[in-house]
Structure 1
Amino acid sequence: METHEMEFTEHYYFLRMYSVDLNTARLAVKVLKRYRRADVRYALLRDLIVTYVRPFSVNKGRQSKHILSVKRHVPASMRSLHDELVRVRMQQFAHTDLTYYSPLTLTFRGPNGEFNGYGTMFKGYDYGALLEKLPHIEKLIAAVETSVNAELRREERESGTDGPVIPIPPEQKADLENLTEKSE
């Protein structure tokens, strides 16, 4: 069997990966719905938010950096929820931002004023409130995934095999050839 290596723009390949991320986030919602224990639900919620937001963060390509367009892919009516998920991911789940946590350090002293150490208080996150929004989060993910997949189809129709050549490293090319042989 003869195979033809189709080449598309770097943007196309990112759209493909973003589609996988969004599908993974959507499936995480289904898994999350099956669990009742708070600790498991919170971990799954973090995972789905980090995965959902990944396309909207800076992603490095071989030629340039890529970020999925909020204007093109997030429905206007869902932007406030999207912005909340991005903020939580960027400030708390994937980073430790002081602007989010707003820590306060306290000195603990005994009854005679002797020093007993320091304690730090900081803002946490209300997972329960976010879990209540799960049906809306699921709709948001589905809407963005549908939009990304529609753009993928447009790219495929318009680009065909005429996109700029992006070389596939030899190791990956060998892996692809092995997969082709196994599927025949």
Structure 2
Amino acid sequence: MHTPEEEFYVFLRFADADMSQAQIALDHLVKVEGDFLRLCLLKDAAISYCRPFKKSHGIFNKTLRLDESYIPVHLKDLHTELINLRDQVFAHTDIGVRSPILHCWTHEPKRIFPIQFKSHSYLQLLGQEQEMRLLFNAVLDLIRDKQAKLEAQFGKAPPPGRQ
């Protein structure tokens, strides 16, 4: 890589792979049985999808990420839901999101401290597999469109430092 444009192109290629991985996880999600495996595939799909929208460090560009222009307006709510799940539940343990209540049960000879917390409706998200597929495909199409434009730009003249 010799320019910021080449670096962004490489980033888009990685984003392409992330979206493809998210699609593969969805493909397997509909084939497996059992909540544990389905949740694992859902997490993989969400994390892979979200990766290009999160801050990445570049060499030329301090920060690389896909901006909101890659998100179809009619699928913005699903995008936001996936980002929030990734940020607050799948990749981090944000306590505030779970609204925990710590209890103390006084049973002799030892006290017990159970925690009651808000659960997330993974089953509802699993029911949105078709919408996730639409979102992932739409974003992938936009990524590939931008890749093609950069490839055309690179084809007009050799990048600096190359013949």
Q: Can you list the C-alpha shifts for 1:58-80, whole angstroms capped at 9, x where unaligned? A: 1111221111112x111100000
Equivalenced residues, count:
158
Q: How far apart, in 2, do the equivalents of 1:159 and 1:122 lie?
A: 53
Query: In the alignment, does 2:56 pair up with 1:59?
Result: yes
Q: Which residue, out of 117, 120, 124, partners 2:115?
A: 120
* Residues 35-54 of structure 1: pairs in structure 2 closer than 5 A: 35-54=32-51
Question: Gaps spanning 5+ residues in structure 2: where?
Answer: none
Structure with greater Cα Rg: 1
Give the structure-1-normalised TM-score: 0.79
* 1:134 corresponds to: 129
Q: Can you list the C-alpha shifts for 1:83-117, whole angstroms capped at 9, x where unaligned? A: 0000000100011112212221111113x8x7622
Q: How far apart, in 1, do the equivalents of 2:44 and 2:131 lie?
A: 17
Secondary structure of the residue that 1:11 maps to in structure 2? helix
Q: Which residue, out of 19, 24, 39, partners 1:22?
A: 19
Q: CA RMSD in A?
A: 2.0
Identity of aligned residues (%): 28
Give the structure-2-normalised TM-score: 0.89
1:6 Cα offset (Å): 9.0
* Residues 1-184 of structure 1: pairs in structure 2 closer than 5 A: 9-63=6-60, 64-70=62-68, 72-110=69-107, 116-160=111-155, 162-163=158-159
Question: Gaps spanning 5+ residues in structure 1: where?
Answer: 166-184
Q: How far apart, in 2, do the equivalents of 1:101 and 1:138 lie?
A: 27
